[in-house]
């Protein structure tokens, strides 16, 4: 595959498993031809590059770090190499760049100036969780993080459940791993007993992957332990049944 003057969106693994389980071979052929990378975390980006090809000379590559700490006024210069005719790779800390990370900021710049943007296939915990959940995959929303404060989170969960029911839509969201058990408690407190709740933990990890969907009622009695495990939460509330005739 010949490399172009383009912004390449390069997924990276989301677990410690084998590269060949989660990335198409041609991704590696492409990555080896790129010299400029916009990355969420330089250290993990270097480790990924060394893993896919130990012969890569890291010192010959240029990295630009794009994350919550990057000053807004620096970002524009990150695509200068592209403006000069070179391909640039964008890599997130884990999974697919441009999704649930700040990567879209440089894509937006490239799009505005008419450059090609080429997304490569790779693991997205959001999408993999949805595929295995059995919940509605014909309509779904990714909500990012819910509020941290108890009352706000409780309200957000109830609002999302109402929306799921009204719009026949699966709700997907994430939490920082050390707050997973707290999130699960809020979910079991606020959701209706017959809402389907999927907990997708350790996705693509050879040993630990566990994607389980049960009614809230069953989760309440059967227990859970999600402490510090990367987890995606999904739920889906069946539409309210159509009004039935009432016998008087």
Binding positions for its own copies, rule: CB under 8 A: 1, 9, 18, 20-26, 96-101, 103-105, 107-112, 117-119, 121-124, 126-144, 169, 198, 203-204, 206, 209, 211-214
14 vs 74: CA distance, rounded Å: 28
Which CB atom, from 59 or from 225, has the smaller least distance to its own copies?
225
Q: Least CB distance from residue 79 to its own copies, whole Å?
A: 11
149 vs 145: CA distance, rounded Å: 12
Which CB atom, from 62 or from 111, has the smaller least distance to its own copies?
111
93 exposure class (CB count in 10 Å sphere: 0-12, 13-18, 19+): middle
Q: Least CB distance from residue 212 to its own copies, whole Å?
A: 7
Which CB atom, from 58 or from 147, has the smaller least distance to its own copies?
147
Which of 210, 189, 208, 186 has its CA nearest to residue 198? 210
Tokens read off for 177: 């791993």
Q: Least CB distance from residue 16 to its own copies, whole Å?
A: 15
Q: Least CB distance from residue 240 to its own copies, whole Å?
A: 19
Which CB atom, from 25 or from 247, has the smaller least distance to its own copies?
25
Which CB atom, from 112 or from 149, has the smaller least distance to its own copies?
112
Which of 27, 143, 141, 144 has its CA nearest to residue 90? 27
SS3 204: coil
On whether the CB atoms of residues 37 and 62 are closer than 8 A, the answer is yes
Helices (H) and strands (E) in the chain, counts: 9, 10
Q: Least CB distance from residue 123 to its own copies, whole Å?
A: 5
């Amino acid at each position: 595959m010949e490399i172009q003057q383009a912004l390449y969106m390069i997924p990276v693994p989301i677990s410690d498993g084998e590269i060949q389980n989660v990335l198409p071979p041609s991704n590696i052929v492409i990555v080896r031809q790129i010299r400029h990378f916009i990355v969420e975390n330089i250290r993990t980006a270097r480790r990924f590059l060394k893993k896919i090809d130990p012969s890569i000379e890291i010192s010959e590559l240029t990295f630009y770090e794009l994350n919550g700490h990057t000053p807004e006024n620096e970002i524009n210069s990150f695509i200068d190499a592209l403006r000069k005719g070179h391909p640039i790779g964008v890599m997130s800390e884990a999974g697919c760049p441009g999704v649930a990370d700040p990567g879209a900021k440089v894509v937006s710049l490239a799009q505005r100036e008419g450059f090609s943007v080429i997304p490569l296939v790779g693991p997205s915990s959001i999408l993999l969780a949805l595929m295995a959940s059995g919940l509605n995959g014909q309509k779904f929303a990714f909500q990012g993080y819910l509020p941290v404060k108890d009352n706000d989170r409780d309200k957000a969960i109830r609002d999302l459940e109402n929306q799921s029911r009204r719009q026949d839509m699966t709700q997907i969201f994430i939490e920082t791993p050390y707050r997973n058990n707290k999130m699960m408690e809020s979910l079991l407190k606020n959701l209706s007993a017959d809402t389907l709740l999927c907990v997708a933990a350790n996705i693509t990890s050879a040993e630990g992957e566990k994607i389980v969907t049960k009614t809230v009622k069953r989760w309440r009695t059967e227990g859970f332990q999600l402490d510090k495990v990367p987890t995606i939460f999904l739920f889906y509330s069946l539409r309210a049944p159509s009004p039935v005739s009432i016998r008087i």
